[in-house]
Every structure is written in C-alpha cells, then in structure tokens.
Structure 1
Amino acid sequence: MVIGRRRFSALGAGVAAATLSGAPVARAARSGGKPAVRNVVLVHGAYADGSSWSKVIPLLQGAGMNVIAVQNPLTSLAADAAATKFALSRQDGPTVLVAHSYGGTVISEVGLAPQVAGLVYVAARAPDAGEDFAALSAKFPTPAVASGIITSDGFKYLSRSAFLRDFANGVPRAQALELYTVQGPLATAAPTTSVAAWRNKPSWYAVSKNDRTINPELERFMARRMKATTVEVDSGHLSLVTHPEVIGRLILQAAAAS
C-alpha cells in the first residue's frame, strides 16, 4: 500500500504526544480489528552507531513499544541488510522499520519483509531500485560535509572538524564529541539497492531543514517521490539527537497508522 504525501497532522501529533507522555499506545484503525504495531527496529547511518538513537529509544519504550537498534557493520549493503533482517526476525509481529541517513538505503533494501508494516526515514537516503545515489545527489548543491570526508583502506569517515561542524551541527559540543568518538566508517563501495520498499509500504519522512550532510532539497525530493507523510524539523542532520520528541512522535504516528 502506498499512501499520499501529507503533513504531520495536528490530530496525529496529539495522539503521539499523549503516547510519549505515558498514555497507552494508540490502536490503528485497521480492518478486521488488528492491533496497532508494537515493534520498532531502528537502523543507524554512516559515521554513527546504534547509540545515535539513545534519546529516541526511551521515549518509544515509555510508550510501550518493543525496540531494537541495529548495529550495522557498515562494511557493505549486504552485511547491513543481513544485520537488519536478523533484528526483524526477532520481532513477534508487525514492525515499523526506521532509518537515519545511509540507513535509508538499508531499509529500502529489506523493507519488503512481510513483518514490516511501515517505513520511517529520518534525514535519510531513499534510493529507487538500482539507482546511483551519488548521481542523484549530484543534481543538488553539494552538502558542506563533503569537504571533510576522508578515504582510507576501502572506508570513508569524517574529519573531526567536519563531524562537529557539518554532521553534528546543532548538537551540544560535548555530546557531538562523544558521537565523533564512536563514528562508524562506511565502506567506499557504492551501495545499490535491488528494490525500493517505499514503493510498496507506507512511508514517513522527517526532513532536516538545516542539514549539512544531505541537502534538504534532496530530502524533500525523496519524500515527495515516495509520497511520504512528511514533517520538517528545524534541525541539522542529527534530528534524532536534537529533536528526539519530534522523531519519536513521527515513529508512533507510523505505528498507529500502519
């Protein structure tokens, strides 16, 4: 099922806000009386690890969700897809699959799994099947972070200055330094998806308006293309760190509607 693009509704925001404050998880308006989705799998991106979700996780758990954060090896798309599939296999029912940044490539690849009820992209890549994401990105102004990418021994990572200035813009410096310490280098081999799960599954997208890692206009283009429910966040690339409540509400909205 593909749903139309729409903004984060006041009603949906209200339900999700109540959920985050401790009210029971909302039930989806499903035919046949099926329950709301209660499982969430979180997929981190490049230059990060699963700890990047540390502010979102307790909000979702407090709302009664079962949450797993994948630890992607970032050695290849196949390896990251395998890690995400393993996390999905541990769920006991329908699951919302959530990704940040490069993680969007991973969930686009594995999101057709039958237990995946919906996809949430957080300032994330959302490639079409077989699409060269670098070529797509080249159609938009180059993001500032590009000047700080270092390549070595088949991997790429960010310089300290680029990480703090461009990848973690808006994050308090002490926390940004912690995130820099655990950054995960990404294999240089270009990841190309064989499928685009967002063409078949309901999708949500959080655009980071001040993103210096993925051009915000590219994010808007991908959100429009997938006809995603879209929210714009006054944030840099790491909205999951600086605006966890907003991201948590969007995930819960997806869980209630999937």
Structure 2
Amino acid sequence: MSMLKTAVLAAALTASAVSGAYASDAATPTTPTPAKNVVLVHGAFADGSGWRPVYELLTARGYRVSIVQNPLTSLEDDVAATRRVLDRQDGPTVLVGHSWGGTVITEAGMHDTVTALVYVSALAPDAGETTAQQYAGFAPTPEFVIDTAADGFGIVRPAQFKAGFAHDTTDADAAFLRDSQVPIHMAAFATPLTQAAWRSKPSWAVIATEDKAFDQAMLVHMAERIGADITRVSASHALFYTQPGVVAEVIERAAQGVRQGE
C-alpha cells in the first residue's frame, strides 16, 4: 500500500455508505459569539509543533491559543484528545483542523465551547461517512506516497516528503517536518463519524492551491459542500507552516464571525 488514495479507498470497503449531504445541508451562516480562544488540531504525519507560526501570530493579537497533540492511533483517540483541550477553554472557541484534523474537528466540534470551525486544506466528512469515502471519484496525487508498516501505521515516504507535503519550504524545514512526522493508524480512515459539527456551526476553509496531498477538486468539493467561506492561497499541503499569515487571518475572521464580502 503506497499511495494514500489506495490505502484509504481500501479501508473504505469496510465503511458505511455515503450519507449524501450537500452544501444546502450545512449550517446557515450566522454570526457566532466573538471568540478569544483558538484550538489548533494537526493532521496525520505531523504534530502540533508545525502550528507555531500561526500560534505566534494569534497570541500576539490577544488570542488564547491551545494546540492539540493527536496520538493518531484512532479517530476516537484524536477526538478525545481534542475534547480534553476544549474542556479547558473559558468561553467561545474557534476550532481549527489541518488535513486529517478536519475529520477530527468535524466530530469534536459539537463541543459546547465551539462557535466556529476552520478547515485548513482539511477533510470534512459527514455523519455516517468515513474519511476514506472523501477520496472516491477524485484523481490520485502521485507525489504523496504513504508507506504502511505491518502494524498498520503509515508515514509519508521520507524520500518524497518534501515533494508531497512541503515543497514550498526550505530543505532544512522540510527535513524537520519529515523527521518529526507522527505515524497514523490507517484504520482511522475507515471509521465513520457519528456527528458533523459543520451542519450546525459556521465554517471557514483555507485551500492550498498547490496541495499535493489532495486533488484540488476534492478540496473544493468538501469546502463547498459544508458551506464554508473559502480562501485560496498558493501553498503546499504544509500551508499552516508556510502561509501562517493567511491562515491566522482566516481564523481571526472566524473568531469575529466575518465572512468575505461582509
């Protein structure tokens, strides 16, 4: 199993059927209570350290920022880790997820403190869907290759990490991200969600236009389906690291309940 699409589609064979949600099913955009808390959730093959540039920008603007360290052992474990951080918030909170973290915030975002969701080149399944099902019908991305060990945990193939994950970083930064990546148990992609926070809470999305982990059409489809306010930026899959200013700006708009054009 080398390609992520191959891996997740194989996992999807054991998953439940697609529930068929459309953008009209998403939350009607409303103005959430202004938030001063932000919780950042990393994706697969990464840890929370990559959020530091976004963290520094937001804390400088007066936000209270917390970073989840997902174990990446299962969807349930990652959601539990996120909820533990949400339990510590003292008021309205923007919940932000990158990549696989989008699946996590979709499930965990029903927490009472969460007033807005931000998807950063992120997955956005519906209740009853799996992460794997989001890939169906979209083109594979040859630069993004996953090596899966006998124990079921996968990592981005080191020799192709920069090309597939972070081509717009320096060689040194790409090497750090590569060597600090956290394996994810691939079975997590086959776990159906029990709820979808984007159905009841407003969403924003930042899409990296040079993302090699996802088909662009897939990213746009997911963001449009959930009714997200979409911002595009020229960046790799590591946009949380290479374009922190854009990501922080969108998070701040979500915190204030401001959508583009308003």
Distance 2:197 2:169 in 1: 31
Identify the residue that residue 13 of structure 1 maps to in structure 2. none
Distance 2:82 2:125 in 1: 17
Residue type of the alignment partner of 1:235? A
Query: What is the number of equivalent residue pairs in this alignment?
Result: 230
1:143, CA displacement in angstroms?
1.6
1:248 aligns with 2:248: yes
Match among 78, 81, 85 for residue 79 of structure 2: 81
Q: What is the aligned partner in structure 1 of residue 146 from structure 2?
A: 149
- Partner secondary structure for residue 54 of structure 1: helix
CA distance in 2, matches of 1:136, 1:238: 20
Matches within 5 A, 1:48-87: 48-87=46-85
Instruction: State the shift of 1:255 in Å.
Output: 0.3
Query: Which residue does the alignment assign to 1:2?
Result: 27
Q: Is the 8 A contact 2:123 2:134 kept in 1?
A: no
For 1:227, what is the secondary structure of its paired residue?
Answer: coil
Deviations 1:153-187 (A, max 9, x none): 12011111221111112111110101111101000
Kindly tell me: are residues 114 and 29 of structure 1, through their superposed partners in 2, closer, same or farther at Cα, counting changes over 3 Å? closer
**TM-score (normalised: structure 1):** 0.85
Alignment pair present for 1:201 and 2:201: yes
8 Å contact from structure 1 (residues 207, 219) kept in 2: yes
**What whole-Å deviation, never above 9, does each CA across 1:198-219 have from its counterpart, x for those lacking one?**
1110000001111100111111
Match of 1:136 in 2: 134
Which residue of structure 2 lines up, in the alignment, with residue 38 of structure 1?
A: 36
In the TM superposition, residue 136 of structure 1 has moved relative to its aligned partner by 2.8
3-state SS of paired residue (1:86): helix
Provide the rounded CA distance (Å) in 2 between the counterparts of 1:150 and 1:38: 39
Are the equivalent residues in 2 in contact too, given 1:3–1:228 (CA < 8 A)?
A: no
User: Equivalents in 2 of 1:255, 1:239: separation in Å?
Assistant: 20
> Which residue identity is paired with 1:142?
P
Give the counterpart of 1:109 among 101, 107, 110: 107
Letter in 1 for 2:198: W
TM-score, with structure 2 as normaliser: 0.84
Are the aligned partners of 1:41 and 1:69 in contact in 2 as well (CA < 8 Å)? Answer: yes
Distance 1:171 1:29 in 2: 36
Aligned to 1:47: 45
Amino acid at match of 2:147: I
CA apart distance, 1:29: 6.8
Distance 2:160 2:107 in 1: 29
Q: CA contact under 8 A between 2:91 and 2:113: conserved in structure 1?
A: yes
For residues 175 and 163 of structure 2, the distance between their equivalents in structure 1, rounded to whole angstroms, comes to 11
> Quick check: 1:109–1:195 contact (8 Å CA) kept in 2?
yes
- Residues 119-134 of structure 1: pairs in structure 2 closer than 5 A: 119-134=117-132
What is the CA deviation profile of residues 59-89 of structure 1, one whole-angstrom value per residue up to 9, with x for unaligned ones?
0000000000000000001110010000001
The residue identity in structure 1 corresponding to 2:27 is V
Q: Quick one: percent identity of the two aligned structures? A: 43
Q: After the TM superposition, which residues 139-218 of structure 1 pair with which residues of structure 2 at under 5 Å, given as runs? A: 139-146=137-144, 148-152=145-149, 153-189=151-187, 190-218=190-218
What SS does the corresponding residue of 2:118 show, helix, strand or coil?
strand
- Superposition map of 1:229-248 within 5 A: 229-248=229-248
SS of residue in 2 equivalent to 1:52: helix
CA RMSD, Structure 1 to Structure 2 (Å): 1.6
**Contact persistence 1:3–1:203 (CA under 8 A):** no
Rounded to whole Å, the distance in 2 between the matches of 1:227 and 1:29 is 14
CA distance in 1, matches of 2:55, 2:246: 13
Cα distance in 2, alignment partners of residues 135 and 29 from structure 1 = 31
Moved over 6 A (4+): none
Give the unaligned 5+ runs of structure 1. 5-27
CA contact under 8 A between 2:130 and 2:193: conserved in structure 1?
A: no
